Amino acid sequence: MLILATDDDGGPEIFASVQGEGPSMGIPVAFLRLSRCNLACVWCDTAYTWHFTGDERPHRLNETFNRKTNQIRLSEQEVAQRILALGQKRLIITGGEPLLQAPALARLLDYLPDITVEIETNGTTIAPPSLDIRIDQFNVSPKLAHSGNPAELALLPERLDTYATDQRAFFKFVIAEPGNVEEVLALQERYCFRPGHVFLMPEGTNSATLREREKWLASLCVKHGFRMSDRLHIHLFGDTRGT
């Protein structure tokens, strides 16, 4: 069984859209959003996947969510059928932290042999061989200090070393202010990420904030040779589920 996040109607968050971030931005895809996460980013825009009632870890909205109404369990076969019905050739598996459900994901992908698969992960865990063999692209988003996660939980050297040497892995860093880029530069020096595989993305859940931050972020990308990612889905649909 897989534990999925729910959409606004209480159904599973499985939908077709265009990828909004990173190296595949703009490509038509199917999305599968899973529930649960092992980190707690204060600016997380999918807090309904982990910040459940009783969780006292800080989040900027100071809001918790009812676990029962924000999670749904489905068999791997049913999830696969819903994904195939969308008619897309590429699947984005996101969360939460999807690799927390790696065994069930491996079983899911047995039903989807002809779909290209991307995993969006915070980089604190890696896929076991049964799942890894089916992944075409890893979108790794290590969490910087401004996420509120301590480095000893969010930046695990043995995990980042593994991703840094995997040609399928792209790195996407959430940037809220120029000083955050200094952390990225230190990580770049330590892990030697592949050229062209590092994206800087502005933190924000509305177009005005994104555009304002992109003004200074673009020059920093030019200066340091990083790629810049927008958040296309925010401009198109706002900060909403199922988009």
CATH label of the domain that carries residue 221: 3.20.20.70
Q: Do residues 32 and 101 touch, judged by C-beta distance below 8 A?
A: no
Residue 29 inside a domain? The answer is yes
pLDDT for 9 equals 95
pLDDT tens-digit series, residues 11-43: 999 999 999 999 999 999 999 999 999 999 999
pLDDT for 92 equals 98
Number of domains observed in the structure of the chain:
1
Whole-angstrom distance, CA of residue 186 vs CA of residue 189:
5
pLDDT tens-digit series, residues 115-151: 999 999 999 999 999 999 999 999 999 999 999 999 9
Residue 47 inside a domain? The answer is no
Q: Please give the mean pLDDT across all residues of the chain.
A: 98
Residue 17 inside a domain? The answer is yes
pLDDT for 225 equals 98
Quick one: which of 166, 156, 170 has its CA closest to 226? 170
Q: Do residues 123 and 173 touch, judged by C-beta distance below 8 A?
A: no
> Two tokens at 118?
């991307």
Residue 123 inside a domain? The answer is yes
pLDDT for 210 equals 98
pLDDT for 218 equals 98
Which uninterrupted H or E stretch holds 237? helix 232-237
The phi, psi pair for 133, rounded to 5°, reads: -65, -20
Quick one: which of 191, 165, 189, 180 has its CA closest to 221? 180
pLDDT for 18 equals 98
CB neighbour list of residue 167: distance below 8 Å, 6 or more residues apart: 194
Q: Quick one: DSSP state of residue 65?
A: B
Whole-angstrom distance, CA of residue 43 vs CA of residue 60:
6
Residue 78 structural domain? 2-36+74-237
Whole-angstrom distance, CA of residue 191 vs CA of residue 184:
10
Give the predicted TM-score (pTM) of the model. Answer: 0.97
Residue 54 inside a domain? The answer is no
pLDDT for 133 equals 98
- Region 169-176 average pLDDT: 98
Reported confidence tier of residue 199, pLDDT bands at 50, 70, 90 = very high
Residue 88 inside a domain? The answer is yes
Residue 58 inside a domain? The answer is no
Quick one: which of 192, 200, 204 has its CA closest to 172? 200
Q: Number of C-alpha atoms within 13 angstroms, CB side, residue 226?
A: 27
Residue 170 inside a domain? The answer is yes
Cα four-point dihedral sign 70, 73, 76, 81: negative
pLDDT tens-digit series, residues 59-87: 999 999 999 999 999 999 999 999 999 99
3-state helix, strand, coil in the chain (%, to 5): 35, 20, 40
Reported confidence tier of residue 179, pLDDT bands at 50, 70, 90 = very high
